[in-house]
Structure 1
């Protein structure tokens, strides 16, 4: 018979994953050892292997967990009965606020996904595509003609460009908070989304 998990097993593993995310974000996946993870968690290395099989599994848990939370976020907002503009605004704000609580996980996903095996990388990237598609649909809800022009995805990627790299410069203890920046991002988005030309830009040829 399989051995039953001790009470608190899942909580302890979540703690290990969180600590691993801190270390991976600070030192990189390659630059972090399982000894360091065990020390950060106050465990022996032998005890650590009771909860996870290896460092690679920790990377998978971190990336999958972050993507699953983002997928749940967009699905929840997409199902809300709200006007398109408010739905898009809420989705953007929820994203920025989620990143505030998952800066380490987001950094690991951004910088260390390259270390995943092809099948795991594909699963993670498929989840990212779902998130991007949901945001694009929210954009189309505000401006329906984006769909025919095929500009919904490019605008969505520009939006994520603002959000995804915020962790590189936004200081946790600075005057600007993620909550304040969520408002700034939505103000920029709604202030400019209607001004975007749907015609391909004309590139002048040099004479």
Structure 2
């Protein structure tokens, strides 16, 4: 999980969570390259030496942040979607879950999309594989939703289209604004479903 309760884990684990949470906000607002270990230590009101006790360098912090966030996104998703046989309901749930996670972890989402390529090679490789796992879940769901009449390249395009609508909410969406996360997910669901229905109608399906 990205974050657990304030009293969960050992003292060291809780401090790691605190450091990661603080660094996530700084990376999101200032950018990874513009944020130093000194900046993180200063905001935490701890010495740099103490910070280095928990993380060897800034890149290790970034790897921890993004690895945990991607694990959260993937955690239990297959079981969550398979809890219903209705493919329409699966699509709705997938979108709701995605939007809800991004609304709760907006800083993490921003860091993922803007800073992932700053990871060390081995960590970037792991992150990309987790992203591919999520993409495969989304593509499999959409393939079921549109049916066997859709071409492979169309399913791929629709998958990127749906993920794009969900993912890019980090760049403009305010969960505390007038549109609630549940309402946003409903809007995305209706737009996507309406588009698919129109395509099926044009194809005579």
Q: CA contact under 8 A between 1:13 and 1:51: conserved in structure 2?
A: yes
Structure 1 unaligned residues grouped into runs of 5+: 1-5, 200-207
Secondary structure of the equivalent of 1:161?
helix
4+ long deviations beyond 4 Å: none
Check conservation: 1:132, 1:153, Cα contact below 8 A.
Answer: no
Helix, strand or coil at the partner of 1:160: helix
After superposition, where does 1:107-118 map in structure 2 within 5 Å?
A: 107-118=110-121
d(CA) in 2 for partners of 1:148 and 1:165? 26
Q: Aligned-pair distance for 1:133? A: 0.8
Give the CA RMSD over aligned residues: 2.1
1:41-96 per-residue CA deviation (whole Å, 9 max, x = no partner) reads 23221211121111010110111111111111532323323311101110111000
Q: CA separation in 2, counterparts of 1:188 and 1:109?
A: 25
Taking structure 1 as the reference length, what is the TM-score of the superposition? 0.86
Give the distance between the partners of 1:54 and 1:191, measured in 2 at CA: 48
Query: Shift of residue 24 of structure 1?
Result: 0.1
Matched, 1:138 2:141: yes
1:178 aligns with 2:181: yes
Please give the TM-score of this superposition, normalised by the length of structure 2. 0.87
Asked whether the 8 Å contact 1:85–1:142 carries over to 2, the reply is: yes
Q: Give deviations 1:127-171, integer Å, cap 9, x for gaps.
A: 101101101111122222266543222101011111111121123
TM-aligned CA distance change 1:154 to 1:34, over 3 Å: same
1:61 equivalent in structure 2: 64
Count of matched residue positions in the alignment of Structure 1 and Structure 2? 194
Confirm or deny: 8 A CA contact 2:95 2:189 kept in the other structure: yes
Provide structure 2 residue ranges, at least 5 long, that are not aligned to the other structure: 1-8
Partner of 2:167: 164
1:25 corresponds to which of 10, 21, 28: 28
